Amino acid sequence: QSVLTQPPSASGTPGQRVTISCSGSSSNIGGNSVTWYQQLPGTAPKLLIYINNERPSGVPDRISGSKSGTSASLAISGLQSEDEADYYCAAWDDSLNGPVFGGGTKLTV
């Protein structure tokens, strides 16, 4: 059972906009910034979003993050086949004194 809650799956067609939710509590998302990772099949995770909505260089601006209260969302617009991957949210947890992850959402395009 993951500390952060994500839907196990999401889907969309090419060109569509999809959102993936991440729910936590006051000890993690409520008081700390959220990070999102993308994991393509058979590869290591890749940093997608940090500090709630910041994109590392190389991540396209059709990918965005937001946070409100104890929940966060990842939005991908202009969906492409190469977006098909697993997506994980993460945040520092003040009670556990370490980072916690969501269970992951498998995005099908």
* Closest to 60 measured CA to CA, from 48, 51, 69: 48
**Residue 14 near residue 27 (C-beta atoms within 8 A):** no
Residue closer to other proteins (CB basis): 13 or 42: 42
Contact with other proteins (CB under 8 A): which of 24, 37, 38, 65?
Answer: 37
Question: How far is residue 74 CA from its own chain's centroid?
Answer: 5
Judging by beta carbons within 10 Å of its beta carbon (0-12, 13-18, 19+), is residue 90 exposed, middle or buried? Answer: buried
CB of 15 to other proteins, least distance (A): 29
Can residue 87 be called a binding residue for other proteins (CB under 8 A)? no
Can residue 59 be called a binding residue for other proteins (CB under 8 A)? no
Can residue 2 be called a binding residue for other proteins (CB under 8 A)? yes
Can residue 55 be called a binding residue for other proteins (CB under 8 A)? no
CB of 80 to other proteins, least distance (A): 22
CB of 100 to other proteins, least distance (A): 7
With H, G, I as helix, E, B as strand and everything else as coil, classify residue 81.
Answer: helix
Could you give the C-alpha distances from 10 to 20, 24, 42, 72, 91, in angstroms and in order?
7, 19, 19, 15, 21
Q: Which residues bind other proteins (CB under 8 A)?
A: 2, 32-35, 37, 39, 44-47, 50-51, 56, 88, 90-92, 96-104
